[in-house]
């Protein structure tokens, strides 16, 4: 049996690099900001943590957020189907790319490409079931890393829950 993913890395529009983890050692999921190139309310080293029953919502249009899973059509319900009033902590800025390896995330953050929002462009390409050209995909390592991270997280992770848009990419 393969263990579920314990952590991944996210680069956000604000120029932040987060380590997102399913368990802090005490059973709580959370996020730690490892680096910041821009300005943000959360400083490098800052954390957003939940309680033992919380989940990390991975939302294409909002960012990452800790939320309490109420009942719904997906168990736990997808974060985009939960009222934002239930978000327990501030959310990050929009996700630009996701990574399984910290070194890849740092390399991307330090490049000039992270501002071009690859993930949102990918979603727009796939929205109508269109696939990007092989040439385009080969040039964008961040898209590969993001898709690999989404696939590794999967649609049944006990702590990391994809929103409906990201879950659609896995089908």
63-112 confidence digits (pLDDT tens): 898 877 665 445 556 666 665 544 555 688 888 889 999 999 998 888 76
Q: Are 165 and 80 in contact (CB under 8 A)?
A: yes
pLDDT digits (tens, 9 = 90+) for 38-76: 788 888 999 988 887 788 888 877 789 887 766 544 555
Q: Which residues pair with 12 in a beta bridge?
A: 95
Picking from 21-30, 69-78, 158-167, which range would have the lowest pLDDT averaged per residue? 69-78
Q: pLDDT band at 163, cuts 50/70/90?
A: confident
Residue with the bigger pLDDT between 52 and 13: it is: 13
pLDDT digits (tens, 9 = 90+) for 106-160: 988 887 666 555 555 665 665 544 555 655 554 567 778 888 999 999 988 988 9
Is residue 12 predicted with pLDDT exceeding 80?
yes
Q: Which of 92, 91, 51, 86 is nearest to 72 (CA)?
A: 86
- Residue 73: φ, ψ to 5°: -70, -20
Q: What is the pLDDT of residue 73?
A: 45
Taking the C-alpha atoms of residue 137 and residue 66, their distance in angstroms, rounded to an integer, is: 31
- Count other C-beta atoms under 10 Å from residue 148's C-beta: 16
- Count other C-beta atoms under 10 Å from residue 29's C-beta: 23
Whether the pTM exceeds 0.85: the reply is no
């Amino acid at each position: 049996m393969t263990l579920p993913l314990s952590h991944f890395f996210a680069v956000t529009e604000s120029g932040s690099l987060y380590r997102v983890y399913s368990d802090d050692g005490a059973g709580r999921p959370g996020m730690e900001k490892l680096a910041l190139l821009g300005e943000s309310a959360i400083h490098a080293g800052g954390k957003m943590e939940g309680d033992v029953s919380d989940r990390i919502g991975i939302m294409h249009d909002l960012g990452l957020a800790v939320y309490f899973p109420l009942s719904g059509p997906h168990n736990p319900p997808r974060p985009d189907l939960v009222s934002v009033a239930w978000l327990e902590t501030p959310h990050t800025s929009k996700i630009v790319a996701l990574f399984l390896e910290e070194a890849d995330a740092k390399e991307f953050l330090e490049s000039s490409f992270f501002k071009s929002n690859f993930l949102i462009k990918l979603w727009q390409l796939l929205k109508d079931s269109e696939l990007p050209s092989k040439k385009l995909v080969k040039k964008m390592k961040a898209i590969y890393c993001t898709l690999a991270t989404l696939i590794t997280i999967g649609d049944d992770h006990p702590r990391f829950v994809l929103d409906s848009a990201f879950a659609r990419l896995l089908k």
